[in-house]
Amino acid sequence: MKLENESLLVEIAELGAEVTRIYDKETDTEILWEGNPTYWKRHSPILFPNVGKTYQNTVRIGGRQYPTSQHGFARDSVFACRDADEGSASFVLRASEESKKVYPYEFELTVTYRLCKKELEVEWQVRSLSGERIYFTIGGHPAFRFAKEGETKADYCLRFPDKERLDYILLDPASGTGVTDVAYQLPLEGGTCPLAEEMFARDALVFDGGQIGEAWLCHKDKSPYVGMRCPGFENFGIWSVKDAPFVCLEPWAGRCDDKGFVGDVSQKPGINSVEGTEAFSRKYTIVVA
């Protein structure tokens, strides 16, 4: 599936409803990571029904335990394309007998992409098809590749408009879940900080508390390259792989379990829920400078 205007070309796969390409026609630049498995085989997966890992790879729902995989199953599921034209497309994933083995709910996840000028809006809607209350977290994971061959993280910086400080937590290496008893400060100068390999020595940086509503990957001279507007998101992740020429800016509605969490999913901090005929909705926008 392609969305296209005079500025951008966007390609979307039915597998995972994943954006696989964002090409800037004006600068002849590939913006999105191409999925080279040497570093990371994905491009911009949708994380559902869990962001990150659950503690001991298990979720407890209504007195039963279910196995989970990192970031959930939506990224590896085939969505149905419902509506599409040159400027927008919607994809739908519904519960199946396979999904109920790990996530017992009757759900519908709709992902809509809208292209306007040099912006790509991404909207998620989650509904309960049975009317019962369902619980989930959901997140984005777009990877932005560096503009020129041979560039490294040292050629870029991150900018967070109007921010004087940001605090983050890290993941427990053994379980991949959040360690909440130690917080770190991301040093900012004028809202910016240099991008560096050592930032990701312990995996992702996890920002809670709705701290980040806008983030930019900028060139070393602080000129903007690609950014993200994501107001209303409680959590945000920043991640990369050692020596990889990309960085992920990840808006999340909920995140991985806290280390040691063994309660019912309904008791998980930051969990989302929806019931009846209502819909849960979040949207973010990728902006190419």
In tens, the pLDDT along 257-271 reads 999 999 999 999 999
Identity of the residue numbered 136: F
Strands 107-116 and 88-94: antiparallel
What one-character-per-residue DSSP string does 212-253 give? -SEEEEEETTS-EEEEEE-TT-SEEEEE--TT-SEEEEEEEE
Q: Other C-beta atoms within 10 Å of 183: how many?
A: 11
Q: Distance (Å, rounded) from C-alpha 210 to C-alpha 189?
A: 20
Tens digits of residue pLDDT in 205-217: 999 999 999 999 9
Residue from 21, 40, 38 nearest 30 by CA: 21
Mean pLDDT of the region 157-186: 97
Tens digits of residue pLDDT in 99-123: 999 999 999 999 999 999 999 999 9
The DSSP H or E segment spanning 23 is strand 19-24
Tens digits of residue pLDDT in 33-83: 999 999 999 999 999 999 999 999 999 999 999 999 999 999 999 999 998
How high does pLDDT run on average in the chain?
97
CATH number of the domain at 2-288, please?
2.70.98.10
- Assigned token pair, 77: 């599921």
Q: Distance (Å, rounded) from C-alpha 256 to C-alpha 13?
A: 26
pLDDT of residue 124: 98
Asked if 129 contacts 106 with a C-beta cutoff of 8 angstroms, the reply is yes
Q: What is the CA radius of gyration of the chain?
A: 18
Q: Distance (Å, rounded) from C-alpha 176 to C-alpha 264?
A: 19
Mean pLDDT of the region 3-16: 98
Q: How confident is the model at residue 86 (pLDDT cuts 50, 70, 90)?
A: confident
pTM of this structure: 0.97
Q: How confident is the model at residue 31 (pLDDT cuts 50, 70, 90)?
A: very high
